[in-house]
Amino acid sequence: MMTTADQTEIDNFAALSDQWWDQKGPMAPLHAFTPVRIDYILQAIGRFFPIKKDQRQSAKPSLAGLKILDIGCGGGLLAEPMARLGAAVTGIDVTAPAISAAKTHADAMQLAIDYQVITAEDLAASGAKFDVIYASEVIEHVADRPLFIKAIATMLAPDGVVVITTINRSLPALIFAKFALEYIVRLVPAGTHDPRKFVRPAELRAEFASAGILLDDMTGFAPCPGGGFMPIGSLAINYAASGGFR
């Protein structure tokens, strides 16, 4: 789920690896969060690449021809929808049990996804390039953000787009994204998040700018009254950011 991350956080995610696809289990918040994350990723891609409609399924966009990297892919909650839309998807994670779960589920769904147990830094060193790179709910677990962002910049194609979703370092985020999830409703194990690693939008934008990437769009997310999440104007808790070399 992470790169150069705290071993305790890696162990927490490894312990949950057999429950990635249980929509009522510990990964329920991520399942609820998935539709709005997919919508944002597709909107971000559409700002950089013309997205055509799949002729066989006219209501669905086609990502055919695009190489996508899912960093911290976990069990594949985002990688599978991207693959279904026709993209060539590579999913990486440092948690081997998560990759095992992702491979098993993708095989059952008859989806060809290149899953690897590798860090972003090591993959970047291999010379790999991608049109779209996203790291969703990952960067708040990274110990060395500049190194991680440098790896993303190294792998991003010249006209590519990067998408990040993460948690703001704010009092509301501390209350709702840390203490409520871990200690009140107990949807994720205690210690899953270190609030010191939460990143403010201005910090994220500045760190990517140092790597030559302009994050020119930011959108907040909030829970919907009826379940799931929706985009909002406030970046106070959860937010997404996207941009590229421009």
pLDDT digits (tens, 9 = 90+) for 97-137: 899 999 999 999 999 999 999 999 999 999 999 999 999 98
CA 31, 142, 237, 246 torsion: positive or negative? negative
Percentage of residues in the chain with pLDDT exceeding 70?
Answer: 80
Q: Over the chain, what is the mean pLDDT?
A: 85
Q: 40 falls in which pLDDT band (50, 70, 90)?
A: very high
Q: Which amino acid is at 59?
A: A
Type of residue numbered 47: R
147 touches 4 (CB < 8 A): yes
Cβ atoms of residues 162 and 152 within 8 Å: yes
Task: Please spell the DSSP secondary structure of the chain, one letter per residue.
Answer: --SS--HHHHHHHHHTGGGTT-TTSTTHHHHHHHHHHHHHHHHHHHHHSPPEEPSSSTTSEE-TT-EEEEET-TTTTTHHHHHHTT-EEEEEES-HHHHHHHHHHHHHTT---EEEE--HHHHHHTT--EEEEEEES-GGG-S-HHHHHHHHHHHEEEEEEEEEEEE-SSHHHIIIIIIIIIIIS--S-TTS--GGG---HHHHHHHHHHTT-EEEEEEEEEE-TTSSEEEES--SSEEEEEEE--
- Quick one: average pLDDT of 179-196? 52
When pLDDT is averaged across residues 69-90 and rounded to a whole number, the result is: 96
CB 152 within 8 A of CB 120: yes
- Are the beta carbons of 78 and 136 closer than 8 angstroms? yes
Q: Where are the domains of the chain?
A: 7-244
Region 1-19: mean pLDDT is: 54
The answer to whether the beta carbons of residues 203 and 166 sit under 8 Å apart is no
What is the pTM (predicted TM-score) of this model? 0.87
Report the pLDDT value the prediction gives residue 176, as an integer from 0 to 100.
64
Average pLDDT in the 67-71 region? 98
Report domain 7-244's class. alpha beta
- What pLDDT does residue 179 have? 44
Please give the average per-residue pLDDT across 213-227, as a whole number.
89
Task: Give the pLDDT band of residue 184 (cuts 50, 70, 90).
Answer: very low
Would the pLDDT of 174 be above 80?
no
Q: Which residues contact 230 (CB under 8 A, 6 or more apart)?
A: 36, 221, 222, 223, 224
Higher-pLDDT residue of 3 and 240 is: 240
Whole-number Å distance between alpha carbons of 101 and 120: 20
Kindly tell me if the per-residue pLDDT of 190 is higher than 90.
no
